[in-house]
Chains A and B, each alone.
Chain A
């Protein structure tokens, strides 16, 4: 069964460093998303991406964040200068042409020290 994959599973970085989180969505999907979940809190929407551009972004997704689909299979989230409060699980998700069902990857745990 097709699934969303994410790498790395765990990333430790120092405050102020740049990180890139990588995702391979399900191959025939058209819509891509990033969510995050701070420990013990809700899953929160960050950004959606369709047709090579951002469809929607939340207030969390400020100028420090960017997304890219560099080729036909990968979808990346870059955090330019990490802060302590960026420590969270980051989930990539994708959905097909109807856009309703979103399938999530296993997540990348980001720890900023």
Chain B
């Protein structure tokens, strides 16, 4: 079983729509959860990180973690064409290894 699974899409939505991006993970040892945005041929840009179950909001972005289901989500409200990118979930353990384990990435297009 893969450590992190993410639907690669592509996902195409109209401008202004609410976008939902999701990942599942297999190991409860993972305790820190990040979302990165990556534009074509650029480095991943950290959007949000969270530790506990529940919601964390930052502007138009909301990260949600459900540790009981091993399910993490990123919601984008009032989506803009500039949000078009690949979104990567990444997880890590709290102690020991500090590496990030990335999902495949979901390619998102917001249509004007």
Contacts from A to B (Cβ < 8 Å): 4, 31, 33, 35, 42-45, 48, 50, 55-56, 58, 89, 91, 95, 99-107, 109
Given A100-B49, A104-B44, A105-B43, answer yes or no on A43-B98 (Cβ-Cβ < 8 Å): no
Q: C-beta contact mask, B84-109 vs A, less than 8 Å → 1, else 0?
A: 00001010100001111111110000
Give the interface SS of chain A, mostly helix, strand, loop or mixed: strand
B7 sits at the interface (CB 8 A):
no
Given A43-B88, A56-B97, answer yes or no on A104-B102 (Cβ-Cβ < 8 Å): no
Whether the Cβ atoms of B99 and A103 lie closer than 8 Å is no
Interface residue from B34, B36, B88, B99 paired with A45 (Cβ < 8 Å)? B99
Task: Return chain B residues, CB-CB under 8 Å to A44.
Answer: 102
Cα of A95 to Cα of B32 in the assembled complex, Å: 14
